[in-house]
């Protein structure tokens, strides 16, 4: 049966869609039985990591603002980020989809283009799938991987440095740009919506890409865990303020962050300045950076910096863990005060 | 913080709900790192089975017709059924939830009561979780298990018997009863809705339980795979007509079903007779039986029957695989004709 890309899922039906998607999944090493049976069978090592995360329409994205190919990439990336932040190597993914009946086959194919592309980039085999209809799009990915030396959220000690990778705030600036109407196409290039000047275009592009196609530092994360360069770590998904409280709670310590040390994304900062705002809040509370948040002993900072250079990733010490309650303090020229956690709580915050 | 069961999820927030649910998950053997970090870490053998299946509001269930505890049980049961039908032993589950903000903590706790109960019954550890808000409830479970000798959908040969376990059609009759207003309470007991007579109550109860709290023959499935008593097999989830076409397609054979041999559930048949209907259609096309559909060599039938007796499960040969196109024929007193697949296609059929 030939399926037209303009056919809706309601016309095609679940079984035909599943059969079509199965033909798109390449064979991969380690996969004994792939998609299409009651379960997949995969080769695993003695300790396997498992993580699951979903993207839900109107909560994490709006259908008309995100090209499906980038949605597919991101659905895998947010899980890759979690697995790498445990020190693992991703191997297999299952994808469970809720799809409204008015979506076209072309839309679902583009979603799979993104999933398959990102899977190939990261050495992941898609091994399981489920599709069902639903009012809203839900892309739910479960990722399995080999465990190496584990990097847990607990373990930070007073005196350890608070370290982050990359620059923060660009993904949150991307949310603002999407709300204002800025858009990327399927290839993550800027669409001509007349929303920027020639000089602001590179910054707009970078922030939209940070939001729609995040690139967590997977290789660096694994190397850090392997070498035991961090005593605790997690990925920055809910925002520095909320995620740092999490490391503090798990480790039984507090933390002080130097406001001036926070690596605010330069492109986001420029765009915020132009609208009379300040990007520090985005860097502290914005979320979806998919960078690493680490507790690093002072004696390891040098080796960490060296390793990060090898992988081409920026690392910045932004503060220190301290004895006391799991509270994060921020220090700036006005003094030291508790940093109110303001990151993403998907039950409370509006749709990104 | 004390959370009131009447609090809504909008009042509680995602983080507090996750923390609360984490406190409910017991520790379990094989779990190196459980819920609460970036990923779970679990002990695995050389070959791991993975399967994923979800229950979606208004597609698979209606919120006011299903007690959340039974919904939790079923979300795990449908995955247990898949894993067992591959010959596996379930070990770990992740649960990804979409939850509307107006649900109460009490509702989510009941859902978890069911999940945890069913997990304990089947030796499964809950190791991962994700919650996000959404307009409709989605309960998405991914199940991992140890692989034994695999039981695949491909492998049926001409001359093999078409064998099913249990009786068919009760779950589909349950859908009709729910639509008419019949209800179970959290303990799977019949609620007094005045929808039945004293004599019909046991049948109504049985059919509602088959729909809301299915009990796939997990131990029998494993034993059959272990002993190699079936050449092909899968679980009956979409209905005999649709699932048998699937085995035929994968195996490159056709099949003939004797209408008179199909083990129509006696309670469903009784209720259908009372409304002037016929339960054979439910048994052939109804779906959600979560029994086994097997291709069994004639020489293995005796041993299979013996094994099924040990496990207290009925097995019935309902027909034979034949050479030819992957078409299912049904034979009754009127002769032989192609059986139009009429089972569940969740993109097309109305909500159960």
Tell me the C-alpha distance between B209 and B163, whole Å.
Answer: 23
What pLDDT is recorded for position B352? 41
Residue B350 — pLDDT band, cuts 50, 70, 90?
A: very low
Q: Please tell me the distance from the alpha carbon of residue B197 to that of residue B194, in angstroms, as a whole number.
A: 8
Q: Cβ B132–A9 below 8 Å, yes or no?
A: no
Same fold across A9-146 and A161-167+216-338: no
Confidence of residue A352 (pLDDT cuts 50, 70, 90): very low
Calculate mean pLDDT across residues A229-252: 97
pLDDT above 50 (res A350): no
Residues of chain A with C-beta less than 8 angstroms from the C-beta of B130: 52-54, 140
Report pLDDT digits (tens) over B39-82.
Answer: 999 999 999 999 999 999 999 999 999 999 999 999 999 999 99
- Kindly tell me if the per-residue pLDDT of A208 is higher than 60: yes
For A19, nearest residue in chain B (alpha carbons): B246
One of 3.90.1330.10, 3.90.650.10, 3.40.1230.10, 2.60.120.10 is the CATH number of B161-338, namely 3.90.650.10
CA distance B138 to B52: 13
Which residues in chain B touch residue A14, judged by CB atoms under 8 angstroms apart? 345-348
Least confident of A338-347, B123-132, B302-311: A338-347
Residue A346 pLDDT grade (very low, low, confident, very high; cuts 50, 70, 90): low
Q: Which alpha helices (H) appear in chain B, and where do they start and end?
A: 9-12, 14-24, 68-84, 105-122, 170-180, 201-212, 218-227, 240-251, 266-274, 280-285, 301-311
CB A234 within 8 A of CB A243: yes
DSSP secondary structure letters along B61-102 = B-GGGS-HHHHHHHHHHHHHHHHHTTT-EEEEEEEEEEE-TT
* Of residues B37, B86, B144, nearest to A152 (C-beta): B37
**Pick from A38, A83, A242: which is nearest to B234 by CB?**
A38
Residue A351 confidence class, pLDDT cut points 50, 70, 90: very low
- List pLDDT tens digits, range B232-281: 999 999 999 999 999 999 999 999 999 999 999 999 999 999 989 889 99
Q: How confident is the model over B141-161, as a mean pLDDT?
A: 97
Q: How confident is the model at residue A135 (pLDDT cuts 50, 70, 90)?
A: very high
B1 pLDDT tier (thresholds 50, 70, 90): low
pLDDT tens column, A91-125: 999 999 999 999 999 999 999 999 999 999 999 99
Q: What is the dihedral of CA B147, B151, B153, B157, to 10 degrees?
A: 160
| Cα B279 from Cα B283, distance rounded (Å) | 6
Q: How far apart are CA A121 and CA A115, in angstroms?
A: 10
pTM for this entry: 0.95
Whether B193 shows a pLDDT value over 80: the answer reads no
pLDDT tens digits, one per residue of A41-98: 999 999 999 999 999 999 999 999 999 999 999 999 999 999 999 999 999 999 999 9
Q: Where are the domains of chain A?
A: 9-146, 161-167+216-338
Give me the residue from B32, B136, B142 closest to A142, CB to CB: B142
pLDDT at position B163: 98
- Cα–Cα dist A12/A15, whole Å: 8
B27 backbone dihedrals φ, ψ, rounded to 5°: -70, 155
* C-alpha distance from A140 to closest chain B C-alpha (Å): 8
Please check whether residue B255 is in contact with residue B320, taking contact to mean a CB–CB distance below 8 angstroms: yes
Please name the residue of chain B whose CA is at the shortest distance from the CA of residue A93. B50
What is the tens place of the pLDDT at every residue in B201-243?
999 999 999 999 999 999 999 999 999 999 999 999 999 999 9
Instruction: State the pLDDT at residue A69.
Output: 98
Phi and psi at A295, nearest 5°, equal: -105, 115
Which residues in chain A have their CB less than 8 angstroms from residue B10's CB?
A: 347-348
pLDDT over 90, % of chain B: 88
- Which band of pLDDT confidence, cut at 50, 70 and 90, is reported for residue B343? low
What single DSSP character describes residue A184?
B
What is the dotted CATH code of the domain comprising A161-167+216-338? 3.90.650.10
Q: What is the share, in percent, of chain B residues with pLDDT greater than 70?
A: 96
Task: Name the class of domain A9-146.
Answer: alpha beta
Give B89-108 pLDDT, tens digit per residue.
999 999 999 999 999 999 99
Chain B nearest CA to A124, separation (Å): 15
Q: Quote ipTM for the complex.
A: 0.94
Nearest CA in chain B to A137: B134
pLDDT at B102: 95
The pLDDT value given to residue A1: 55
CA distance A150 to A87: 5
């Amino acid at each position: 049966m030939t399926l037209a890309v303009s056919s809706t899922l309601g016309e095609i039906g679940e079984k035909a869609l599943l059969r079509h998607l199965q033909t798109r999944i390449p064979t991969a090493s380690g996969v004994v039985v792939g998609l299409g049976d009651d379960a997949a069978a995969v080769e695993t090592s003695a300790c396997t990591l498992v993580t699951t995360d979903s993207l839900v329409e109107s909560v994490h994205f709006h259908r008309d603002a995100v090209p499906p190919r980038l949605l597919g990439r991101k659905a895998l990336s947010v899980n890759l980020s979690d697995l790498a932040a445990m020190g693992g190597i991703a191997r297999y993914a299952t994808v469970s989809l809720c799809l409204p009946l008015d979506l076209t086959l072309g839309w679902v194919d583009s979603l799979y283009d993104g999933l398959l592309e990102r899977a190939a980039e990261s050495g992941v085999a898609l091994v399981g799938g489920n599709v069902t209809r639903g009012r809203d799009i839900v892309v739910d990915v479960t990722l399995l991987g080999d465990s190496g030396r584990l990097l847990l959220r607990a373990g930070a000690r007073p005196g350890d440095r608070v370290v982050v990778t990359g620059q923060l705030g660009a993904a949150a600036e991307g949310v603002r740009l999407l709300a204002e109407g800025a858009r990327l196409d399927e290839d993550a290039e800027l669409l001509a919506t007349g929303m920027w000047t020639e000089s602001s275009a590179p910054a707009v592009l970078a922030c939209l890409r940070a939001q729609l196609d995040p690139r967590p530092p997977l290789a660096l994360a694994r190397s850090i865990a392997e070498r035991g360069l961090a005593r605790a770590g997690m990925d920055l998904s809910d925002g520095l303020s909320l995620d740092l409280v999490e490391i503090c709670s798990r480790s039984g310590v507090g933390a002080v962050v130097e406001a001036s040390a926070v690596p605010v994304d330069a492109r986001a900062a420029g765009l915020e300045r132009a609208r009379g705002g300040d990007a520090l809040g985005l860097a502290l509370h914005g979320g979806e950076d998919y960078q690493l948040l680490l507790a690093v002993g002072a004696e390891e900072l040098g080796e960490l910096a060296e390793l990060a250079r090898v992988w081409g990733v920026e690392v910045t010490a932004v503060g220190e863990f301290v004895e006391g309650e799991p509270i994060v303090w921020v220090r700036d020229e006005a003094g030291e005060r508790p940093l109110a956690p303001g990151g993403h709580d998907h039950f409370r915050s509006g749709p990104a």
